[in-house]
Copies of this chain bind each other. A is one copy, B any other.
Amino acid sequence: MDNRGNRTGQADGLKMLHPFTGLPEPLLAELEAICTRRSYAHGQVIAEEMEHLTFVGFIAKGMLRMQKLQADGRLSIVGLMVEGDMFGRVFNGPLHFSIAATGEAEVYTFPRDAFETLTTEWPELERLVMLSILNELDAAREWMLILTNYRVTERLAGFLMLLCRRWGNVANLARIDDSRLSLTIPLSRADLAHFLATRPESLSRAFHALADDGLIVLRTPYDIEIQDLSALMDLAGSEDLFMPSHFMDLVSRLS
């Protein structure tokens, strides 16, 4: 991997990253000793499909996506990962998807064999890895639920709710401006279209359909304001999914 990504320093701030808080000091010291911080530019590929990755990583800043180039040339995005998420493959097999940066991203990487050794020695670390994977699994299932909606507007509404629910507190993507709920879309229309199993044109129409119906306001293509949260939840069809506290905080502050 030394030919990819820019080495930007050692493990500055590793212990501040959410999953690592609370680990015992000696383990943190061992982790920091084998950790490298790297940065990637927009679109840069971190790992290729079917590669036997020699490292595992945790995202420090920005967003990565898992994707696959289909035989017919279509690009499918099967996962988005944000700050604190783990990527790579522990313990078995090659990657089935490639990993690329969406926007600027910074990651902590660990050599895979050394990380696995630590994992075997420290139950706390193995538990951390397991919780990371469970978290990914939850994300994948939420995702599939969104994909099972027939109409593009419904899938888009589902994505907007996912943004609030799962990633709202990351990089301030969901926030209250002037007592309005504002969202930053962290993807281009083309990428988001791949994510929602549709095309940019249909996605654009879906955005403007929601705007015409008064559910959202498009300030810029990447900056929207939510006008009717409950209508969006109805459209998404999964308003009863688990709502984390930071999201409930946002909602309760909407007067």
Contact = CB atoms under 8 A, between A and B. Distances in A.
Contacts of A145: 68, 76, 78
A61 B138 CA distance: 25
A148 interface: yes
Nearest to A198: B150
A152 to B, nearest CB: 11
A2 interface: no
Interface string A110-146: 0000000000100100110111011011101111110
A237 B72 contact: yes
Nearest to A66: B141
Nearest to A236: B71
B141 A79 contact: yes
Interface in A87-120: 89-94, 96-97, 120
A127 B116 CA distance: 11
10 contacts: A68-B145, A70-B237, A74-B148, A76-B145, A78-B145, A90-B134, A91-B130, A120-B123, A126-B126, A136-B137
Contact of A234 (B68, B71, B92, B144): B71
Interface residues of A, number: 49
Given A70-B237, A96-B241, 13 more contacts: A66-B141, A71-B240, A78-B145, A78-B148, A79-B141, A89-B134, A96-B141, A96-B242, A123-B126, A130-B130, A143-B144, A147-B147, A147-B148
Interface of A: 50, 66, 68, 70-72, 74, 76, 78-79, 89-94, 96-97, 120, 123, 126-127, 129-131, 133-134, 136-138, 140-145, 147-150, 194, 197, 234, 237-242
A71 B137 contact: no
A131 B78 contact: no
A239 B131 CA distance: 31
B237 A71 contact: yes
A159 to B, nearest CB: 14
Contacts of A138: 96
Contacts of A92: 131, 134
